[in-house]
């Protein structure tokens, strides 16, 4: 029995009902959380960075085109000051204004969670000669979504700039109290695009390598997502230029060591930026399905790390992005590392993996057996890749992550 694919008009009519149902479910969860936030969330203790440097954090506006709100983490010469909260008061207000499906109590809990970084009004005491990392969130994401990773990198000497992509972030808190949220139209076009949903289904049901090849290319070219991916890549390039010109940051950057990292759609955009901007020397894509045909059956210009969740697995040992980042003959000059995150869901690649209560984890699609271990292992493998790609030109996977991340070799042989 075949099931008809919903038309665009049907999708538009169903969307309010789907959103209302999700909000009702999460409202019930929110009531339970309000009764006992600690018991309902069971948040793991905040991970302590392993590096030798204390970490500073501040929010800046990068004077680029377009202007970009950014959160910056950096290695400080000395510790001192107040610990920064995971979400600032402005973050909580902005995300709430953006009608996030996360219960208010969860946001407020994150607003009470102290991180390991010291909060500064402006960058101060930065260690010189820092490698630069530009981080990009996913569609509907936030600059603070991967704070654990940012703190770990900064504790090892990296300056990390997480940029808020206008028209793609769930919410942006600008200085002076201005809030910018993801519009309903953008949500429909990007997050609930019916053509992309239908195309993804075709990819998942591809029966042969040739079918998967065609479906992967068509999916990568879906509009407006392909154009949006290029737009985000432009933001990354603009952010690099703005950071280098900023007198508060530029003098401390080592131009020979610049990387682009992103989660989900931000990972795909980072890969495209790595092709367009010769200042970028390494790219890490954290569970992002690749949009844009720029890297289809083409070797990435830089060393590239691809980490994927179980959601990216396809039948017969295949996966999303198998036809990207390398030529059909598999001959490469630059290193390419593909890994599975064993048992992990998509949002386990963010700080949400620290939520411990099984019911809430299930509600959020978190699947990693041990959230704190997932956060630690993710940070360790990304750090090892960046240190290898930017400093040693050779990447060796940390032994401590061998159980959590398994190598993936695309199986593109017909059965």
Dump pLDDT digits (tens) for 38-52. Answer: 455 668 899 999 999
Q: How confident is the model at residue 20 (pLDDT cuts 50, 70, 90)?
A: low
The string of pLDDT tens digits covering residues 176-207 is 889 999 998 999 999 999 999 999 999 999 98
Mean pLDDT over each residue of the chain, to the nearest integer: 88
Q: pLDDT tens digits for 249-264? A: 999 999 999 999 999 9
* Residues 271, 265: Cα–Cα separation, whole Å: 10
Is the full-model pTM beyond 0.95?
A: no
DSSP H helix total and E strand total for the chain = 12, 15
CB count within 10 Å of CB 168 equals 24
- Compute the distance between CA of residue 239 and CA of residue 92 in angstroms, rounded to an integer: 24
218-243 in b/e form (b: 16+ CB < 10 A) is ebbebeebbebbebbbbbbbbbbbbb
User: Is residue 22's pLDDT more than 90?
Assistant: no
Q: What is the mean pLDDT of residues 97-116?
A: 80
Q: Which of 116, 229, 114 is nearest to 167 (CA)?
A: 229
Q: How far apart are the first and last CA of the chain?
A: 26
Q: Are 216 and 210 in contact (CB under 8 A)?
A: no
Question: What band does 29 get if pLDDT is binned at 50, 70 and 90?
Answer: very low
Residue 127's alpha-carbon distances to 52, 131, 245, 259, in angstroms, are 12, 11, 18, 18
Supply the pLDDT for residue 109.
83
Q: With 50 as the cut, is the pLDDT of residue 2 above it?
A: no
């Amino acid at each position: 029995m075949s099931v008809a694919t919903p038309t665009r008009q049907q999708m538009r009519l169903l969307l309010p009902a789907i959103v209302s149902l999700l909000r009702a479910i999460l409202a019930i969860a929110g009531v339970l959380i309000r009764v006992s936030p600690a018991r309902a969330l069971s948040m793991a203790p905040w991970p302590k960075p392993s590096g030798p440097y204390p970490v500073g954090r501040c929010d800046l506006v990068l004077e680029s085109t377009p202007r970009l709100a950014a959160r910056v983490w950096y290695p400080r010469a000395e510790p001192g000051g107040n610990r920064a909260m995971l979400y600032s008061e402005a973050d909580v207000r902005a995300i709430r204004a953006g009608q996030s499906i996360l219960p208010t109590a969860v946001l407020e809990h994150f607003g009470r969670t102290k991180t390991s970084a010291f909060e500064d009004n402006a960058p101060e005491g930065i260690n010189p000669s820092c490698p630069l990392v530009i981080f990009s969130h996913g569609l509907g994401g936030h600059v603070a979504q991967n704070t654990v990773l940012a703190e770990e990198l900064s504790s090892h000497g990296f300056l990390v700039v997480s940029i808020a992509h206008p028209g793609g972030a769930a919410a942006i808190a600008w200085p002076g109290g201005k809030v910018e949220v993801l519009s309903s139209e953008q949500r429909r076009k990007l997050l609930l695009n019916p053509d992309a949903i239908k195309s993804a289904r075709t990819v998942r049901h591809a029966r042969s390598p040739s079918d998967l090849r065609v479906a992967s290319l068509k999916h990568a070219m879906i509009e407006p997502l392909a154009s949006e991916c290029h737009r985000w890549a432009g933001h990354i390039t603009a952010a690099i230029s703005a950071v280098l010109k900023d007198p508060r940051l530029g003098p401390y950057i080592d131009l020979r060591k610049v990387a682009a990292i992103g989660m989900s759609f931000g990972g795909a955009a980072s890969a495209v930026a790595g092709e367009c901007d010769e200042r970028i020397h390494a790219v890490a894509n954290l569970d992002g399905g690749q949009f844009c045909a720029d890297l289809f059956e083409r070797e990435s210009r830089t060393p590239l790390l691809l980490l994927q969740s179980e959601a990216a697995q396809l039948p017969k040992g295949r996966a999303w992005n198998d036809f990207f980042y390398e030529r059909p003959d598999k001959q490469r000059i630059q290193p390419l590392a593909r890994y599975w995150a064993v048992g992990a869901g998509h949002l386990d690649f963010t700080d949400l993996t620290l939520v411990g209560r099984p019911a809430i984890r299930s509600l959020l699609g978190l699947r990693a057996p041990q959230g704190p271990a997932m956060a630690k292992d993710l940070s360790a493998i990304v750090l090892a890749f960046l240190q290898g790609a930017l400093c040693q030109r050779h990447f060796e996977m940390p032994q401590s992550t061998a159980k959590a991340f398994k190598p993936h070799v695309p199986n593109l042989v017909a059965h």
